[in-house]
Copies of this chain bind each other. A is one copy, B any other.
Amino acid sequence: MTGLPPATAATTSVGDVGERALIARILARLARPSWLVVPAGDDAAVMEAEPRVLEVLTTDALVDGVHFDRRFCPPEAIGHKALAVNLSDLAAMGASPRAALLSLVLPDALLLSDLDRMLDGLLPLAARHGASLIGGNITRAGADGRGPLILDVTAFGTVGRRCVLTRSGARAGDDVYVTGLIGSAGVGLAALQAGLEHAALATDTALDACRDRYLQPDPRVRAGVLLGRNRAATAAMDLSDGLADAARQVAAASRVGITLDADALPLDAAARAWHASRGTDAVTAAMSAGDDYELLFTARPSLQGRLRGVRRLLGDLPITKVGVVTRKQELRLRTPEGDRPFPSGYEHFN
């Protein structure tokens, strides 16, 4: 801890501090669970294996300008989200989070206090879901230190052999469900972007929940674990790139079709109002917007008892039937005006 800079002046940036001092600053904040044999700070972290489980590994990076905009994303939200998107991937496999690694690419001008605030967002989320931060890496953002800020998280979880959820298990006749409400994160992002130019939007409290859903998504870890543990779902995927994308990917991996019912989609009311006031289509927006870290899953109608058990344990979290799995490998959106093709999801580089 001798490497900690003596003062955390709000004007100190990471470029003013040595790499080791930055690492020491982070290490000082980490817990040391009993199963962690060698904590962060050595060449690698070493942990005890869990007997008789499968191990789940995922990695997802947030890049400044691509996944967040620092003009309206506070550092706490960036740190929170960097972990949340990975926990959401574990949830989609039915896995319980266990450990995470944080790989940071830092521009020289990043304020040290903002780095602290990113950890203020990340660490409580980690603690809440039992994901211990056990290692990581820090490097400079390019030769000039002016590349984008990047938080690249790897998450590690465990799941029982018979409880793992994949995208490929959906069968014709299964029902399609989503957890929670959709459309809110997309509207939250739109409101934050519009708020840059129209101050009234930035303070419209009716949109608080939408903004919060975009900034600090709550990964459906418990839902994923319970669906897996109760063997209530045949396939699952998270909605990181939108409902349309998730349905498309589950259908493709399972070699089936999916028909969604537009009227059944659990649209957030504030999001619906936002679109109504603008004359835009809330369903299309909710299906194609990313950042709703809900789960899409499929379930066999004959096993509804298992799903009821999961619902009871989840309490308040809505679980809504939104469609069916079909033998014919087609994607259809059923609306009162007739069937429509799916809107597209989010894809980088396109």
Binding site for B on A (CB under 8 A): 14-15, 17-20, 22, 37-38, 41-61, 63-67, 88-90, 92-93, 95, 99, 101, 103, 105-106, 108, 134-145, 147-148, 150, 152, 154-159, 161, 164, 166-168, 236-238, 253, 347-350
How far apart are the CA atoms of A57 and B101 in the complex, in Å? 8
Return chain B residues, CB-CB under 8 Å to A88.
43
Q: Tell me if A152 and B43 are in contact (CB < 8 A).
A: no
Known: A139-B348, A348-B139. A54 touches B47 (CB 8 A): yes
Measured CB to CB, the closest approach of chain B to A102, in angstroms, equals 8
Q: Tell me if B154 and A349 are in contact (CB < 8 A).
A: no
How far apart are the CA atoms of A20 and B350 in the complex, in Å? 10
Known: A48-B55, A147-B148, A152-B61. A22 touches B135 (CB 8 A): no
How far apart are the CA atoms of A156 and B156 in the complex, in Å? 10
How far apart are the CA atoms of A157 and B11 in the complex, in Å? 41
Return chain B residues, CB-CB under 8 Å to A45.
56-58
How far apart are the CA atoms of A154 and B347 in the complex, in Å? 24
How far apart are the CA atoms of A102 and B148 in the complex, in Å? 19
Return chain B residues, CB-CB under 8 Å to A19.
347-350
Give 23 A-B contacts (CB < 8 Å), ordered by A residue. Answer: A14-B349, A17-B349, A19-B348, A38-B166, A42-B166, A43-B90, A43-B93, A43-B238, A44-B93, A44-B155, A46-B93, A49-B49, A49-B50, A49-B51, A57-B135, A59-B101, A59-B103, A59-B137, A65-B142, A101-B154, A103-B152, A140-B348, A150-B150
Return chain B residues, CB-CB under 8 Å to A42.
92-93, 166-168, 237, 253
How far apart are the CA atoms of A142 and B158 in the complex, in Å? 32
Max count, chain B CB within 10 A of own CB: residue among A99, A105, A106, A150: A150
Return chain B residues, CB-CB under 8 Å to A47.
54-55, 57
- Chain B: which residue is nearest A347 at the CB level? B19
Q: Tell me if A159 and B46 are in contact (CB < 8 A).
A: yes
Q: Tell me if B349 and A43 are in contact (CB < 8 A).
A: no
How far apart are the CA atoms of A106 and B63 in the complex, in Å? 11
